[in-house]
Structure 1
Amino acid sequence: MNILKERLKLGLSQTQAAKGIGISQGMLALLESGEREGSNETKKKVAKFYNKPVGYLFFNDDIAKCNK
C-alpha cells in the first residue's frame, strides 16, 4: 500500500492527514499498517485527499496502471 508513502511525501502527520481526509487518526493508522481495509467510501476519501487512484493507494501498482 502506498498510503503512508504519500503522506510522508507531503510531510504530514497522521493527525493532519486524517483531519484532511475526514477520518480518525486511529483509522488512518490502521489503513497505513494494513490492519484495516476500510470501506469503499473511506478509500474514496483517501484517494481524493491524495489526488491518487484508489488502486495505487490500496493495491499494487499493476492494478493502478489498469485504472488509467
Structure 2
Amino acid sequence: MLNIRMEQERLKRGWKQDQVASRIGVSRSAYSNYENGNRKPDIEMVKEIAQLYEVTVDYLVGNDQAVAPEKTIIVHDPKLRAFFEQVMLSPIRQREELMRFWRFMREDSQDSEK
C-alpha cells in the first residue's frame, strides 16, 4: 500500500520521480524502487515522504482512518509553510494579534483599491 500511496500523492501534485527524489535526498532510482515496491524505505524516510506530501505516516502505509482532516490546506511554498507552522505553534494571544493585523491590512488594501 505504501508504494501505491506514494505514487498517488506524487501524481496528484504533478511531480516527477526525480523531483521527489531530490527533495527527500535520494536518487531517482531509489525513489523509483520505493514506488515500484522493489525496496521499502526505512521509517525515517517514510516520515520524510509523509512530510513532503503533507499526509500522515499512517495514511501512507494504508490506514484509511488516518486521512488528513477535511480542512487541511496544502502549502507548497516552504517559506509560507514554515510561517504557518510557526503561527500554529504561537500562543493564542499572538495569533489573535496577527489576525487583527491581517484584517487591518486587508481593509487598508481594499480602501486603496477604491
| TM-score using structure 2 length | 0.51
Q: Report how many aligned residue pairs link the two structures.
A: 65
Q: 1, 7, 27: which is aligned to 1:4?
A: 7
Aligned to 1:34: 37
The 3 A distance-change label for structure 1 pair 19 and 65 is same
CA RMSD between the two structures: 1.8
Q: How far 1:55 sits from its partner (Å)?
A: 2.0
Which of the two has higher C-alpha Rg? 2
Per-residue CA shift, 1:3-43, capped at 9, x if unaligned?
00000011111011111122211111111111111111111
Percent identity (aligned)? 32
- Indicate if the aligned counterparts of 2:59 and 2:66 stay in contact, CA closer than 8 A: no
Q: TM-score, normalised by structure 1?
A: 0.80
Which structure carries more relative contact order (alpha carbon 8 Å, separation 6+)? 1
Tell me, which stretches of 5 or more residues in structure 2 are unaligned? 69-114
Structure 1 CA distance for aligned equivalents of residues 32 and 66 of structure 2: 27
Aligned CA distance change for structure 1 residues 21 and 64 (closer, same or farther; 3 Å): farther
